[in-house]
Chains A and B, each alone.
Chain A
Amino acid sequence: MLKILKYSFFDLMRSRWSYVYFAFYLLLGIVLLFLNNDLSKAVITLMNVIIILVPLIGTIFGVMYYYNSKEFTELLLAQPLKRSSIFLGQYLGVALSLSMSLILGLGIPFIFYGLFQSSAIWDFSLLLVTGTFLTFIFTALAFNMALSNENKIKGFGYAILLWLFFAIIYDGVFLMSLILFEDYPLDKLSLVGTMLNPIDLSRTLILLKLDISALLGYTGAIFKKFFGTNFGLITSLSMLSLWVILPVLRIVFKAKRKDF
């Protein structure tokens, strides 16, 4: 598996898109820092970008890579190799190279700006950690979609739809249900609703770490009490891990049964 991982990783590292992705984050970081000179403000703006763009790019890259390297995969399948190691290797290669572009692209300008002297370093690390988690989650979901659909267009469409669902539609449904059940105590429901969507969960985690938490008011006290503590942080991170593990397990399961 490591060999395939290494191959996928270096293959992607050589590809133009990784550089574009890396350059995009590099540019974003530099522009943000030059424009408002305030590290914690920059972290907030970055959050908006990370929450939306990272999953989208993870999804597109995942699907694209799977379909593009399909012939090579079939070649590998002819070799005496475990199927799970082939697909896991490819998946990890994509996810790792994307995460590396993200971490380096955002990290370098921030380090030059003087991140280590700033108190925002924890917010920033949390930002990168959630960004990495989101990359892993959405790449895995994209691989799932691609594995389940022979048809490229269909697979691509479903993957984008999945992203659309988590990024936008879910929040709409969530909002409607909150308003619909406003006569009932909603704190549990909103907690669970947040936990179930990795994008919402990341957003809430970062928001609560930032100064903005008091905005949530009395009703937010329960979120703060939950997410603000170490227990909440660990629960959220394990929830995010679960979001990685479950799709990965499905990749393994699906790959074993798939007829090529």
Chain B
Amino acid sequence: MKPSLKHIIGFLLTILSYSGFSQPLEVCDTCEITSLKSAISAAKDFDTIVVKKGTYIEHNILVDKPVTIIGENYPVIDGESKGEIITIVSDSVTVDGLYIINVGNSYTSDYAAIRVKRSKHFTIKNLVLEKLFFGIYLEKSNYGKIYHNKIIGDAVQEYNSGNGIQLWYSNHIDIEHNYITQVRDGIYLEFSNNCLIKNNTSTENLRYGLHFMFSNYDTYQDNTFENNGAGVAVMFSKNIKMYNNLFKENWGTASYGMLLKEINDAEIIGNTFKENTIGINIEGSNRILYKNNNFSNNGWAIKVRGACYTNKFLENNFLYNSFDVSYNSKVNDNIFDKNYWSNYTGYDLNKDGIGDVPYRPVKLFSYIVNRTPETIILLRSLFIDILDFSEKVSPVFTPDNLQDQNPLTKKIQW
């Protein structure tokens, strides 16, 4: 028998499939393997495990070899609230398309739906997590990707709830297109550098939509943070880039769009702050560039608490905020230039688009409110308007060098 081309190809394919491209291991109720755990123990390195649609009651699943776990039509992994569900301790693991519910709640250990421990090059995508304590927990793991996950918590109180995505000593992580709601912190970074957080939506979380602690050189852009307990908190970090995010309706007695505390050398460009009680709350933050941001309909657009030096506020739009800028001291070392202020009442005789009279963004009333918070009850009173007017004419209490020398007369479009 002459070996035909067909035979040769068939032979080659057989060899190939045995050597590298082995059949995916299938997990389903009627398959040979009926649980994810046994599939992992049966799998060899770089195998693919396909989990078919169904419900799998499992917890403490340890992924200790580089495998790809793919769920078909969102199989349910039910942890029955007994503890952690999937723990990844190997490099190059991919988890895709699972529906993980019922993570155990504990006051002593942080159970997560998926925990990645000391691993690299992992990909976690297309997961749906519900009834969780912690969602995705990265622990000293680097170079990972977290894409397209949906994390829906049911947190009620801060002390007994966990975070949606938590990074701890994890660098170079990409977090994109996730949707996180009703957990404590939507995304929490602690000691994590060089991460990219992009296109995520974080809403209705108890505490912060996004929270940085001691994390440097990170970028977050094009995210939406809506109606969180207190927006986004960036604390004790350096060189964070914040681009084109939307901070919306973080509205409550102690809410703000963004909280900056001990932040140095950051860039805040192109963000929109809309209908927050406080747009940005700044404390002890230096050398920050605020450019091309939109602040509209906030209670306070920017609240400066103190120890903030050499910050630049350039070409922002301040639209219809109750208070544009609030200061609690007379010292000012920050620059406001070429912003558009909707409360500006000056004129532009030479029609170059720049107002001829400098604008003072700090009102006397905001100074008074800082000193005696109860006086806020007089908001929008005629007396206060008169007071503000007289202070505007001759500043006594507010920093007299705090002014925008070139206020624009038209809203900036970009």
**B379 beta carbon closer than 8 Å to chain A:** yes
Please give, as numbers and ranges, the residues of chain B lying within 8 Å of A4 by CB-CB distance: none
Please give, as numbers and ranges, the residues of chain A lying within 8 Å of B4 by CB-CB distance: none
How many interface contacts (CB-CB < 8 Å) are there between A and B?
A: 87
Chain B residues touching A, range: 20 to 34
Whether A171 contacts B384 in the complex (CB less than 8 A), given A182-B371, A215-B379, A223-B377, comes out as yes
Whether A190 pairs with B368 at a CB distance below 8 angstroms is no
Whether B384 pairs with A212 at a CB distance below 8 angstroms is no
B381 nearest in chain A by CB position:
A171
Stretch from B213-221, B248-256, B263-271 that touches the partner: B248-256
**B299 beta carbon closer than 8 Å to chain A:** yes
Whether A175 pairs with B383 at a CB distance below 8 angstroms is yes
**B380 beta carbon closer than 8 Å to chain A:** yes
A39 to chain B, nearest CB (A): 15
**B372 beta carbon closer than 8 Å to chain A:** yes
Whether A207 contacts B380 in the complex (CB less than 8 A), given A168-B386, A214-B251, comes out as yes
Interface, chain B (partner A; CB < 8 A): 251-255, 275, 277, 299, 322, 368, 371-384, 386
Please give, as numbers and ranges, the residues of chain A lying within 8 Å of B376 by CB-CB distance: 215-217, 219-220
**A98 beta carbon closer than 8 Å to chain B:** no
Bound form: Cα–Cα A175–B254 in Å = 23
Please give, as numbers and ranges, the residues of chain A lying within 8 Å of B379 by CB-CB distance: 207, 212, 215-216
> Can you list 28 pairs linking A and B with CB atoms under 8 Å apart?
A51-B382, A168-B382, A171-B378, A174-B378, A175-B368, A178-B372, A179-B368, A179-B372, A182-B374, A187-B374, A189-B374, A207-B379, A211-B251, A211-B275, A212-B299, A214-B253, A215-B277, A215-B322, A215-B379, A216-B379, A217-B253, A217-B373, A217-B376, A218-B254, A218-B373, A219-B374, A221-B253, A224-B253
Whether A214 pairs with B277 at a CB distance below 8 angstroms is yes
**A194 beta carbon closer than 8 Å to chain B:** yes
A182 nearest in chain B by CB position:
B372
Interface, chain A (partner B; CB < 8 A): 47-48, 51-52, 167-169, 171-172, 174-175, 178-179, 182, 186-187, 189-190, 193-194, 200, 203-204, 207, 211-212, 214-221, 223-224
Please give, as numbers and ranges, the residues of chain A lying within 8 Å of B375 by CB-CB distance: 175, 178-179, 190
A46 to chain B, nearest CB (A): 12
Kindly name the residue among B251, B275, B373 whose own CB sees the greatest number of chain A CB atoms within 10 A: B373
Please give, as numbers and ranges, the residues of chain B lying within 8 Å of A219 by CB-CB distance: 373-374, 376
A201 to chain B, nearest CB (A): 11
Please give, as numbers and ranges, the residues of chain A lying within 8 Å of B371 by CB-CB distance: 179, 182
Whether A171 pairs with B382 at a CB distance below 8 angstroms is yes
Kindly name the residue among A48, A178, A189 whose own CB sees the greatest number of chain B CB atoms within 10 A: A178
Whether A167 contacts B255 in the complex (CB less than 8 A), given A175-B368, A215-B277, A219-B373, comes out as no
Please give, as numbers and ranges, the residues of chain B lying within 8 Å of A217 by CB-CB distance: 253-254, 277, 373, 376
